[in-house]
Structure 1
Amino acid sequence: MIFGCHVSIRNGYLGAAKRAEAYGAAAFQYFPKNPRSLSIKDFDRGDAGSCKEFCQEHGMVSVAHTPYSTSLTPSEDKKELTIASLLNDLEIADSCGSVGVIVHFGSQISKTDPLASYHLMLEMLNSVLSQWSGEALLLIENNAGTKGALGTTFEELVQIRNLADYPEKIGFCLDTCHMFASGLWNGENTEEFFAKGQELHYFKHLKIIHLNNSKYPTGSRKDRHANIFQNGLIKDEHLKDIVTSPILKQIPFVLETPDDEGITHREEIKQLYQKWG
């Protein structure tokens, strides 16, 4: 099993890798730059290279996550800035040896044209990836369904990748809280969940799993993460069915859970290895 968590880059990219390793993690996620800005970062390539070497030496997997304000369905005045920011994120991730950069599926932008959001997403993906030749992938994450968000079904996720000009540069990130909140998976339909994902070849391109419990019930469309073994509404046995599934073998599970609600990421990772590792 490969368990890890999100870590800060306040001590640089190598510092983030060392922090994750100290937590007992075999994988980690990080923001490549200020998570509240789309600004372009002139990053320390030596530090990024050292991060890559450290991960290779310790057998660790890393993945980057775009800043909060990144959207594949941006307003017209943010399109060029978003494209430049995504390319910057991909360059940083590639330099760190990361598997890719996670970005959320787009949101509804028109009340009259249901396809407008999908057209804009494809335009954005094609624009970014036509300019990208590195190894890091753009990893599209499923949504919880808040604020009319799209991207809550396997069909949408797979079809966007299939219709893009560069599908080989696109992978997926699956969030367990989001799939529970959206109703894609409710804990009781695990067999159907895996069957549908396999039928559509979704899992073939899945690279990272966000392992989170949920503070709200399934179908609520509320995105509030809870710790795995406390304060969450997803039952342990249901999460175990996901984590230990042979279909997801060798895919890293990265925590995005609260680390200030009675348990730290270090403790949570230890629990995961003891119970399911």
Structure 2
Amino acid sequence: MRFGCHLSIKDGYYGAAKKAMEMKATAFQYFPKNPRSLNVKDFDKEDASRCKAFCMENGILSVSHSPYPTSITPHDKTIRSHVVQSLLNDLEIAEACGSIGVVVHFGKHLPDTTLLESYQLMIEVLNEVLDQWEGEVQILLENSAGLPGGIGTTLEELVQIRKLCHAPEQIGFCLDTCHAFSCGLWDGNNWGEIVEKATALGYFDELKVVHLNNSKYPTREGKDRHAPIFGAGHINVAAFAELLQTPALKHIPFILETPREEIPHEREIALLQERWG
């Protein structure tokens, strides 16, 4: 199985790849640019190329995560233009680094709009990006945290948004375990039901990465606070074992976004590989 974590690009994309190998990780995630900005980055293509070659040579998978301000439900035309150009830039960087995709958070229900209008806006923004994108790297839609019934918390929503876009083949999925627990999609005891539903919907066919996170709060409280896999989180080891041993996830990279100050990622990756690797 592939385990890794989110890494800084302060030493470049190639530097992040080398750091992953030093940690004995077989996958890693990175922000392609400033995580708090939508500004387009004139990136170092040679550094990205070295990252791609190094990962191919050493059997490491990388995945990009779009900056925090990225929203596929932008509330005005100016922000929409920034989001579209930023996402195209993220896709270009990810392609140059040889990454499998760019993780993008599911959109939000905008005030003063119907739920249907917010869904329609997501589809329009995704179409605007992907109609201009000619590379192989995919947008990977991530499930939302939140209270039960919140937008983006069901597999049906994710699958339907993908299906209704112009180029569904350019869209995959990222499953965040803390988000799924937060909204009650996965309560720690119903993984078998999720597997059955995900298989029937074709969700697993398009799942490309899992964000492997425990939760500091109980299920259905709608709080997105990550905790270490082995520690005081509310998702127990038996529940993670059931998830990690799912045949459909055998070749999916599992990326930690857990608090490093509680357990260093090197140690957590070693524990994961010892138990399930």
Question: Which category of TM-score, normalised to the shorter sequence, fits these structures?
Answer: over 0.9
Q: Which AA in structure 2 matches 1:97? A: G
Q: 1:83-232 alignment to 2 at 5 Å? A: 83-145=84-146, 149-232=150-233
- Given residue 231 of structure 2, which amino acid in structure 1 is its aligned partner? Q
What code does the residue aligned with 1:11 have? Answer: D
Distance 1:242 1:10, change over 3 A: same
**Amino acid paired to 1:48:** A
State the match for 2:21 in structure 1. 21
- The structure-2 alpha-carbon separation of the partners of 1:240 and 1:254, relative to structure 1 and needing over 3 Å to count, comes to same
Match of residue 32 from structure 1: 32
AA at the equivalent of 1:208: V
For residues 26-65 of structure 1, the aligned pairs below 5 Å read 26-65=26-65
The match for 1:253 is 254
For 1:33 and 1:197, locate their aligned partners in 2 and report how far apart those are by CA, in whole Å. Answer: 32
CA offsets 1:168-192 (integer angstroms, 9 cap, x no match): 0000000000001111111111111
Question: Residue 208 of structure 2 aligns to a residue in which SS?
Answer: strand
Distance 2:59 2:113 in 1: 49
CA distance in 2, matches of 1:3, 1:196: 25
Contact 2:147 2:182 (8 Å CA) reproduced: no
What is the CA-CA distance between 1:75 and the residue it aligns to? 1.6
Shift of 1:105: 0.4
Change (3 A) 1:246 1:147: closer
Deviations 1:146-180 (A, max 9, x none): 69851100100000000001100000000000001
Alpha-carbon deviation of 1:231? 2.0
Q: CA separation in 2, counterparts of 1:156 and 1:68?
A: 21
Aligned residues: 276
Secondary structure (helix, strand or coil) at the match of 2:115 reads coil
Paired amino acid for 2:16? A
Q: Which runs of 5+ in 1 are unaligned?
A: none
Moved over 6 A (4+): none
Identical residues among aligned pairs (%): 57
Q: What CA distance in whole angstroms lies between the structure 2 residues aligned with 1:25 and 1:129?
A: 31
SS for the counterpart of 2:153 is: coil
SS at match of 1:115: helix
CA distance in structure 2 between the aligned counterparts of 1:148 and 1:88, rounded to whole angstroms = 33
> AA paired with 1:274?
E
